[in-house]
Structure 1
């Protein structure tokens, strides 16, 4: 089977399985580059001719470009998934990628905002107009729920409940996150400005909760920019990346420091397994761990 035909069928299967657009896009980009490289370097145009040595050659090429193990592993995972599909569909008897191991990744401590930085960021935007009230609500929601950027952009008005928000996460998995009194206050102020903004300009209702200046669904790029600008205005440490994902990291560590069970934090974050959540524990300072242990002493609770 021709490489291009195989890739198109694989991508069609991903869409059929209702994989997220991000998953499909990642598979398409990584596999297209991989197959193009094979054709250029080895003149390989059929999947039956691809061997383990060719895959290793591509990974070595990527490594020579200075790419980190985490990035190379993401490529290899896509390659493995592609060939596993070819085996399942009986186009191949075995996968040439099955015996290739993932690279050892360097353990990096997760960086978060400090409590003082978080407070300053929460106070940057007032509620004087639509955009400011929207931005304040977004920042509050990111810090208070730990949801991902694209999950925030995907929230619809019908997903907002009295005490919870229905989040549409990775792999079409849904979960509920709580609405704290602080978040509810920010949401109510935004909803008033949102309703007036729509009525004054377009006089129509839209499904998505967070809207752009033109009344359309908010994009992840806009959220990134708002958080970055907010961090700059709040004088956040320059070594810390001001992004929605850092808000997510901060939420996770604050929850753990406040004594919330790691399993509950894992569910709130929408992690597939608890090992991902445990990375946040590894990044908490020893002094904080000691304080958490003392306050949670079983004898002190008797």
Structure 2
């Protein structure tokens, strides 16, 4: 009698859970870039656990998570990358718990790494004026540049959101755009911006329909790379120091809105954030404004002034 020996491969619950979670994230409509980021970071975490001979969710405990963070520290990652090495695996683990895959939470007793607050610059009014002066002229490309700068400042839209605008959007006061995670929101165009867009489109030499892309270059519709290059070139013509990225317009929009007294919930909706955690860095930008406001309205200062009178 012949016996066949079958090799039984041990079930890897961690890898299976990771694959299910990534499918769930994809079903939510997250961008390919975000999915790659999750797959890379959480995949490394799972691979690290496997190197410790851990293959099940219940086998992982807080010391394993701490060893993972120490492992990433030893690799010389930045403080922001170290924070993500905690945050993204924690997000994955919370999903596993919500799905009933485990009741074990190895992150519960592990402190999250601290991230030093970096205040990124925003455009000053003088810099905005310099950018607009760099767009002066009657050539259709200069008219396009002016319209693009004003649209970016007026909406706080991300680069890919700007790229997805159509010719038909240019004449509307409000535009429904689709942002990160396929979340939709309304943005608004001032009359000044709509006039700039009208002048640009009137001068644009390409045959345009309502559903045509809004932004064009010498050789056709702009790609994302082309749009970013346009912004950089305007910055160089304006004499601005350093690299001018598209996101500085979004930061400037948020900061100026806060300085003008907008409430956080309204700003959150205008920016398309799902919660307030993503808005902390915008609040840091107006810390100096808050300090000045405190000095101006401090109850102690007011009482002392009254006493001196």
After TM superposition, the score normalised by the length of structure 2 is: 0.76
The structure 1 residue matched to 2:133, chosen from 123, 131, 140, is: 123
Contact persistence 1:127–1:190 (CA under 8 A): no
Q: Name the residue aligned to 1:254.
A: 256
The worse-fitting range, judged by mean Cα deviation, of 129-138 and 10-19 is: 129-138
Write out per-residue CA displacement over residues 126-175 of structure 1, whole angstroms, 9 at most, x where no aligned residue.
56555444333222211222122222223344555621122222333222
Q: Name the residue aligned to 1:175.
A: 185
Given the alignment of the two structures, is residue 197 of structure 1 paired with residue 199 of structure 2, yes or no? no
What is the deviation of 1:122?
A: 2.2
2-structure distance, mates of 1:37, 1:217: 42
Q: Secondary structure, in 3 states, of the residue corresponding to 1:175?
A: strand
The worse-fitting range, judged by mean Cα deviation, of 183-192 and 157-166 is: 157-166
The structure 2 residue matched to 1:87, chosen from 75, 78, 97, is: 97
Given the alignment of the two structures, is residue 224 of structure 1 paired with residue 228 of structure 2, yes or no? yes
Q: Secondary structure, in 3 states, of the residue corresponding to 2:232?
A: helix
Q: Name the residue aligned to 2:269.
A: 267
Contact persistence 2:140–2:203 (CA under 8 A): yes
What is the deviation of 1:245?
A: 1.6
What is the deviation of 1:208?
A: 3.6
What is the deviation of 1:71?
A: 2.8
Distance 1:51 1:274, change over 3 A: closer
Given the alignment of the two structures, is residue 106 of structure 1 paired with residue 110 of structure 2, yes or no? no
Distance 1:86 1:274, change over 3 A: closer
In structure 1, stretches of 5+ residues that fail to align are 294-302
2-structure distance, mates of 1:104, 1:225: 34
Write out per-residue CA displacement over residues 192-228 of structure 1, whole angstroms, 9 at most, x where no aligned residue.
344x3246xxxx8855433565545632x43333323
Cα RMSD over matched residues? 3.3
Distance 1:104 1:185, change over 3 A: same
Q: Name the residue aligned to 2:6.
A: none
Contact persistence 1:109–1:283 (CA under 8 A): no
Aligned length: 284
Contact persistence 1:198–1:205 (CA under 8 A): no
Q: Name the residue aligned to 1:165.
A: 175
Moved runs in structure 1, 4+ residues, more than 6 A?
Answer: 288-293
Contact persistence 2:132–2:146 (CA under 8 A): yes
Write out per-residue CA displacement over residues 12-62 of structure 1, whole angstroms, 9 at most, x where no aligned residue.
1112122333432321221223333444x4354555544432322222222
The structure 1 residue matched to 2:64, chosen from 54, 67, 73, is: 54
Given the alignment of the two structures, is residue 152 of structure 1 paired with residue 162 of structure 2, yes or no? yes
Distance 1:32 1:130, change over 3 A: farther
Q: Secondary structure, in 3 states, of the residue corresponding to 2:185?
A: strand
